[in-house]
Structure formats: C-alpha cells, structure tokens
C-alpha cells in the first residue's frame, strides 16, 4: 500500500508539471527558454541544499552519466517548447505514451520478463495514443507533438537509468546540476518573445523545486522496487490527471477524442496491473 501511495503521489507531481508549464506559457507569463532555465536551476539548488542538509557534503556525481544528463535535458527542453501549442492533457498523453514504448523496449533489451497480460495492457494503452494522434480536426500540432515525443524518449531513458541508481537523491541532484549549463545555452541562443513576469518565475520555481526536483528524487527511490513494465504503465495515468488539471485551471476543452483515448489508456493500465 505504501508503494502504491508514493507512486500515486509521484504521478500527481508529474501531472502538475504539465499544468504549471502550460499555465505559464499559455498566459505568456514567461517564455519557454526562461521557464526551462528557472526550472532546472531551482531544482538544482533545492536538491543540492537537501543533499547538504542530509549528508553535510556536496552532491556526489559518481552515478551521474553523460547520457543521463543529456536525457534529462532533452526531456525538459522538449517538454517546455512543446507546451507552447499543446494542451496540458494532450501533451502528457503524448509524452507518457512514448515513455511507455521506450521503457518497454528497455525491458526487452535488458531481458526482463513481460507477462502476456502486461503486453495486452500496453497494446491497448498504446492504441489510445495512436488514436489521439490520428489526423482529425482535433489532432495536435505535429511539430509540438514531435518535440513532446523527443521528451518522452528522454524521460523513458532517464527512468530506465534510474532503476540502477543506488543513491537516488544524489543522482537526481547531480543530473540537475549538470543540466543547468545546457538550459543556460538554450536560453542564450533561443530568444523568448515574452519577458518573464514574477508569476511566471514563481510557476517555474514551483515546477523545478517541488514537482520536478523532489518529485524525480522520489521517483528514483521507487524505481528499483517496480518492474520496468509496471513503471512504464503507471505513468500512463498522468495524462488523465493533467487533463483534469487543464480543465480546472486552464479552461481547456474536453474533446471526445481525448475521452476515448484516455479510456483506452486507463483500460490498458487496468489490464496490466490486474492480478
């Protein structure tokens, strides 16, 4: 039960990232480059302070890899720029649909046994993603969808890497610290069209320090206790939570296409976790 509750809390944090990012960009409170930079910097500062408070020493970079830093950076930058045009729920659905595919591929490559029921659940859930992206009047912007798909590959790899981390807080802090220069480069070379407002900066700090930094550290602590397929499928609940947040806080429309896609995804999750 404790594992279930902590996993649910982590999924809420992931969904909150989508809502916070979309709220900041949709209201022109801050540009995407600025949001990404503040998000990474605030996450790095809070995590480094937490490491010092708990261990009385600087962040240990021994478990940080070039690939993990690159994956986190691709995720954060792709995620942020995609939300210029995507609604919160649709963006999360694309993101975690691609995450599922990436993590299932990783499970197969690593030799992890995936049961027939989990395969069936994954196929049903992925069908929901395909249906969402099918050409229609309600289909999302393709360029933004491609950016979010790239973010999904980055996050999928980042989650696979996290399954083998012995010190989740240290690893998360190190990845954020080393991702900060890349976010700074993006901010320097890709000029935002909107100046950062105080509220935009506050939203970015909340996303970086709480729902990203602390949320990702919690996720890394849970990953070793979850099978790769379980971790992938659990994240498919995030789009539905994000959609609810988008409706409540952003007045986003609830389309029939999204409802049907969400039902397929939740149905797939249900099939996969049923014992």
180, 190, 196, 244, 273 from 185: Cα distances, Å: 9, 8, 17, 34, 42
Q: What is the pTM of this model?
A: 0.84
Higher pLDDT, 30 or 242: 30
Q: Mean of the pLDDT values across residues 199-228?
A: 89
Higher pLDDT, 169 or 42: 42
Sequence-separated (6 or more) residues with CB below 8 Å from residue 23? 29, 203, 249, 250
| Structure token pair of residue 38 | 């503040």
Angle (CA) 91-92-96 rounded to 5° is 120
- pLDDT of the residue at 137: 58
How many whole angstroms from its chain centre is CA 65? 19
Q: What is the DSSP string of 58-77?
A: PPP-TT--HHHHHHHHHHHH
Altogether, the residues listed in the chain come to a count of: 275
- 225-261, pLDDT tens digit by residue? 877 767 776 777 787 788 788 888 888 877 787 788 7
Total domain count for the chain?
Answer: 1
pLDDT at 112 over 80: no
| Structure token pair of residue 65 | 């890899």
- pLDDT of the residue at 180: 96
- 153-164, pLDDT tens digit by residue? 999 999 889 888
Backbone dihedral region of 191: left (phi > 0), alpha (psi from -120 to 50 degrees) or beta?
beta
148, 167, 238 from 28: Cα distances, Å: 20, 38, 24
User: In the chain, what is the greatest distance between 2 CA atoms, to the nearest angstrom?
Assistant: 56
Domain range for 178 is 2-273
Helices of type H across the chain = 2-26, 32-55, 66-82, 88-109, 116-133, 142-162, 168-189, 198-206, 215-222, 228-234, 238-250, 256-273
- 114-158, pLDDT tens digit by residue? 777 777 877 887 787 777 666 665 667 889 999 999 999 999 999
- 162-200, pLDDT tens digit by residue? 888 889 889 999 999 999 999 999 999 998 988 899 999
**CA Rg, the chain, in Å?**
18
């Amino acid at each position: 039960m404790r594992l279930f509750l902590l996993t649910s809390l982590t999924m809420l944090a992931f969904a909150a990232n989508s809502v916070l990012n979309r709220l900041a960009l949709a209201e022109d409170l801050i540009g995407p480059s600025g949001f990404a930079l503040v998000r990474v910097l605030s996450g790095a500062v809070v995590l480094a302070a937490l490491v010092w408070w708990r261990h009385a020493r600087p962040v240990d970079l021994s478990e940080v890899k070039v690939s993990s830093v690159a994956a986190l950076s691709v995720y954060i930058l792709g995620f942020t720029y995609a939300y210029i045009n995507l609604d919160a729920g649709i963006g999360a659905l694309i993101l975690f649909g691609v995450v599922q595919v990436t993590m299932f591929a990783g499970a197969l490559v690593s030799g992890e046994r995936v049961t027939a029921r989990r395969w069936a659940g994954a196929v049903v859930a992925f069908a929901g993603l395909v249906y969402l992206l099918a050409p229609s009047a309600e289909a999302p912007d393709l360029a933004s969808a491609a950016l979010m798909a790239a973010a999904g590959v980055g996050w999928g790899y980042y989650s696979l890497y996290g399954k083998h981390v012995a010190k989740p807080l240290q690893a998360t802090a190190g990845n954020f610290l080393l991702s900060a220069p890349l976010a700074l480069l993006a901010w320097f070379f890709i000029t935002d069209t909107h100046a950062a407002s105080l509220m935009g900066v506050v939203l970015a700090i909340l996303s970086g320090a709480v729902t990203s930094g602390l949320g990702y550290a919690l996720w890394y602590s849970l990953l070793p206790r979850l099978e790769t397929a379980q971790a992938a499928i659990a994240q498919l609940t995030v789009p539905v939570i994000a959609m609810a947040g988008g409706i409540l806080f952003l007045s986003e429309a609830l389309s029939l296409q999204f409802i049907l896609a969400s039902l397929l995804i939740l149905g797939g999750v249900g099939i996969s976790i049923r014992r």
